[in-house]
Amino acid sequence: MDIMNVIIDAYVVLIGLIIGSYLNVLIYRIPLNIPTSKGFSFCPSCNHRLMWFDLFPLFSYIFLGGKCRYCKEKISFRYPAIEALNAICYFVIYLKFGFNYSTLIYFVVFSSLIVLALIDFDHKIIPDRFHIIIGVCAIALIFAAKDLTILERVIGFFAISVPVYIIALLTDGMGEGDVKLFAVCGLMLGWKLILLTMLIASILAAAYGLILMLAKKAKGKSEIPFGPFIAFAVMICIFAGNDIINLYLSLIKA
């Protein structure tokens, strides 16, 4: 195996871990309106300032035994899980697209999807800054990736967002943030993959709701945030959306 490829692979994973650590900061601070670019990291339990040796992604969690160095309160496993997830996403993106402008753009998209998914799961809101970031990335992909025509992207912008917006006006089943997310992701993916995104997200959300009902955690009408399922479905479609469509077409032609 080429040693240079190993070094690049390790570097991509390390960058993913480091940025994943910062994603945890964004997920915690943005809903609380705490500045994300100022101040020191701190323990959410005891508010003690974390020193530089506490901030090594994932490794600090392992070495500290999953507990705060200062108050010994248990650290949520979600923190290292998000770091690891971001690193895995970066690595798989790099394997799929190589090292080019599209890869860097998808790094930003996937990190944004992870943050907005967790914020929506916790607080049932999708901050507009992430719609803007993904929208800018979608426009950048027009120039960086030639796999879709501009028309396909424009149709994708409206294909799901308009019907979902109408549903949102008539019912309380969809939020404004979901509408905007479908719009910018449609601009990024094109109309075929955004339709598949809607299908996958709906199936995942329905399965999650069923699990909650069977576990008796959802009593009566329960609001389930749709953002996390949209985000996960978008990730699936970026990685394997065209393969899924081609497989489906081959099955119906058989």
Sketch the domain layout of the chain as residue ranges. 1-99, 124-254
Q: How far is CA 66 from CA 1, 29, 83, 108, in A?
A: 35, 21, 14, 28
Q: Whose structure tokens read 């939020």?
A: 175
Q: Is 176 exposed, middle or buried (0-12, 13-18, 19+ CB in 10 A)?
A: middle
Give me 38's structure tokens: 């100022």
23 and 133 Cβ atoms separated by less than 8 Å: no
Measured CA to CA, the distance from residue 199 to residue 216 in angstroms comes to 26
Which pLDDT value is given to residue 146? Answer: 84
**Residue appearing with tokens 């507990």:** 67
Give me the pLDDT at residue 170, please.
Answer: 82
Tens digit of each residue's pLDDT, the chain (254 residues): 588 888 999 999 999 999 999 999 999 999 998 887 766 677 777 776 766 666 666 777 777 777 777 787 787 889 899 999 999 999 999 999 998 999 999 999 999 999 999 999 999 999 999 999 999 999 999 999 888 999 999 999 999 999 999 988 887 767 889 999 999 999 999 999 999 999 999 999 999 988 888 887 655 556 789 999 999 999 999 999 999 999 999 888 76
Which of 211, 248, 247 lies closest to 229, judged by CA?
Answer: 211
Q: Check residue 1 and give its pLDDT.
A: 56
Phi, psi of 74 (to 5 degrees): -65, 135
Q: What pLDDT was estimated at residue 41?
A: 72
Looking at residue 174, the DSSP 8-state letter turns out to be S
Contact 117, 54 (CB under 8 A): no
The CA–CA distances, whole Å, from 137 to 46, 79, 101, 112, 196 equal 38, 26, 11, 11, 20
Query: Which residue is it, tokens 């907005």?
Result: 116
Retrieve residue 253's tokens. 């032609």
Q: Nearest 10 degrees: CA dihedral of 146, 148, 149, 151?
A: -150
User: What's residue 173's pLDDT?
Assistant: 66
Tokens 């990730």 correspond to 235
Backbone angles phi, psi at 33, to 5 degrees: 60, 35
pLDDT the model gives residue 185: 98
For residue 58, what pLDDT is reported? 73
**144, 102 Cβ separation under 8 angstroms:** yes
DSSP 225: -
| β-strand partners of 59 | none
Look at residue 229 in the predicted model and tell me its pLDDT: 97
Q: Which helix (H) or strand (E) holds 206?
A: helix 191-214
Task: Give 67's strand partners.
Answer: 74
Q: Which two tokens stand for residue 103?
A: 């890869």
